Amino acid sequence: MADNSADNCPDNRRIVSSQHLAEGEGWELSELEFGLIIVFNAFSRWMTRCMAAAGQADLSPLDILILHNVNHRGRDKSLSDICFLLNIEDSHTVNYALRKLLKAGLLVSEKRGKEVFYRTSEEGGVLCEGYRDVRRQCLLEGLPATDLSGPELRDFARKLRALSGQYDQASRAAASL
């Protein structure tokens, strides 16, 4: 017998953002998508508030992701590296964020041949460390209350990465219609 988790909700209501997408088979994916929407918005809000607490209040979530990505492992990154690693198709938005981070003094750039490489400035590195400290204090200390272990979080992250591949393939299929 199939497990219908919707039976656990009052009046068999499904927790989705768009009821018309949750009709028939596969309604569970709509429930997951609603969860992703809520997590995305909460994570975006968290990043901007964490960065503000670390000392830089005027960065967007994309700016913050790019700053952390450029700081990652202390390796210089090109525009294409950043877009690839963050799975961003529109390089113009990344390029705009890079210019903003350069202007703020958080990144430095170096042209090598035809390509520009970016790395965090000393100020940018200090800001990333401050973000890490705020993250530890405000987020990591409360994580044990979720009852998620390190291995469970890693497994969940692996599943999300695999799911991103499904969405990428579906977007390619939709583009060919």
Q: How far is CA 63 from CA 45, 114, 121, 140, 154, in A?
A: 13, 24, 15, 22, 25
- pLDDT per residue as tens, the chain (177 positions): 344 444 455 546 777 777 777 777 878 888 889 899 999 999 999 999 999 999 999 999 999 999 999 999 999 999 999 999 999 999 999 999 999 999 999 999 999 999 999 999 999 999 999 999 999 999 988 888 788 888 999 999 999 999 999 999 999 999 999
Distance of CA 43 to the CA centre of its chain: 7
Please tell me the distance from the alpha carbon of residue 173 to that of residue 177, in angstroms, as a whole number.
7
**Which residue is it, tokens 């035809």?**
114
pTM score, whole prediction: 0.86
Query: Hey, is 58 helix, strand or coil?
Result: coil
